[in-house]
Amino acid sequence: MGLSFHINFNGQCRAAFEYYAQNLGGIIGTMLSYKDSPAAASAAHDWQDKILHANINIAGVELAGADLRPEDYQKPRGFYVLLGINSAAEVNSIFNALCLDGTIILAPQKTFWSKNYAIVVDRFGVPWKINCGD
């Protein structure tokens, strides 16, 4: 049995996964566009290069994703992707990458449970909590 989660993107799945690969050390597995699938026939011309299904492995956890048409897309809510980090400095580094053109909810700081903890919604609309335990 495996457990992963799936995030819908507003036409930015490829850019998001490439960004996560570069900044989080993720390894992209699948990056299937509409034009390379049976869905090509029913997809609009301007949607052929968008992602029908993708997956990326980040620290042993699979994140799947796809692009939804703007009229079907809803911003992610009700969850955060939680990154457990081994050093306070690495929290800062990852936070700096994820907050670029994103929204800072909580800047990195020491808490009673963490050496360094931060919350950010990245430029792709994905909410992250970054935690370095004691």
Query: Tokens 């968008």 — which residue?
Result: 50
Q: Which CATH architecture describes the domain 81-133?
A: 2-Layer Sandwich (3.30)
d(CA 61, CA 74): 24
- List, for residues 72-111, the tens digit of each pLDDT value: 999 999 999 999 999 999 999 999 999 999 999 999 999 9
Per-domain boundaries in the chain: 5-67, 81-133
Q: Which CATH architecture describes the domain 5-67?
A: Roll (3.10)
pTM: 0.92
Confidence band for 8, pLDDT divided at 50, 70 and 90: very high
Question: 94 is written with which tokens?
Answer: 């990852």
- List, for residues 36-45, the tens digit of each pLDDT value: 888 878 878 8
- List, for residues 56-70, the tens digit of each pLDDT value: 999 899 999 999 988
